[in-house]
Amino acid sequence: MSYSHTATRCCFLLGLAVALTSISPACRADDTSPTPRAPAAKISFTKATQAPPSAVTMDRRGNLYIADPENGQVILMYPDGSQVLFAMGLRTPTGLAVDARGRLYVAEGSHGTIQCICPNGTKTLVAEGLSRPTGIAVDRDGNLTVACPGNGSIARIKGVGAVVEDAL
């Protein structure tokens, strides 16, 4: 498959120059696939003076959440390229996922925990005792699936959404 670049933007993120390039698959005259192909994006980091991001996720609005493990924080980048500090005081964020209600789940790899951060900034511990959690996904029912490379397992944590609701 060939690709055509459609747009490139530059901004600064975590003290690094970042180039965000939207990439769309090139169309062929004989392409009869029934579903349109979504554009992809490529983010390039240059002049790496800090540790690279360890995880990213995107919400329904196209906001990009970027884990900064060295500084224990999550940066929120809006579609226009502007950014804000979304969460800090985390212990090595290594995995991120956003649910349908805009709650961010953060795997803290060095501490074996999962935190939930609500849009209003409230943090709730939703799981602990995991073996170096990294990749994380949340389903529509609020259940988490977490990769735990420390012991070579996949953890399934049910009912996380209810735990967060009770804590608020």
Q: What is the pLDDT of residues 38-74, one digit of tens each?
A: 555 555 544 333 567 889 999 999 999 999 998 999 9
Structure tokens at 159: 């009912």
Higher pLDDT among residues 160 and 9, named by residue: 160
The domain 51-167: what is its CATH number?
A: 2.120.10.30
Once rounded to an integer, what is the mean pLDDT over residues 137-160?
88
Q: What is the mean pLDDT of the chain?
A: 76
- pLDDT value of residue 166: 47
- pLDDT value of residue 133: 93
Amino acid, res. 41: A
Give the domain ranges of the chain: 1-50, 51-167
Structure tokens at 107: 């795997």
10 Å CB burial of residue 130 (0-12, 13-18, 19+) is: buried
Check pLDDT > 50 for residue 17: no
3-state helix, strand and coil shares in percent for the chain, rounded to the nearest 5:
5, 50, 45
